[in-house]
Amino acid sequence: MPITDVTIIRRCALCSGQFGIMTVKKDNMRLMTNDLTWCDHCGKETREVRDIAEREDAVVAEQASYPGNPPVDDVTAAEFRRRRSAGIGV
């Protein structure tokens, strides 16, 4: 069965304080807004940023699945030129 409801987190654009969570139908989802919302942390009306809940966890899990970078030899410029001219590791 397809997912029809999406949970959206509302945050302050300045301090990233959370305003609340709302659940909407996927067809009615609106992440971009120009509405101003009162922020208790900032003490003024600010823009709100909306993001899909648990998206950060999915991004972290995907980045953890990437292969690591191979170690890099820290060599001097002269050693690099010598290796390049000899065709070693380049």
Q: How far is CA 10 from CA 25, 33, 59, 72, 83, in A?
A: 16, 11, 19, 42, 55
**Under 8 Å between Cβ of 10 and 48:** yes
Place of tokens 């999406």: 6
**Under 8 Å between Cβ of 44 and 24:** no
What predicted TM-score, i.e. pTM, was given to this entire model? 0.57
Across the 90 residues of the chain, what is the mean pLDDT of every consecutive 10-residue run?
Answer: 81 89 84 86 90 85 87 80 79
pLDDT at 1: 56
3-state secondary structure of 64: helix
pLDDT at 6: 87
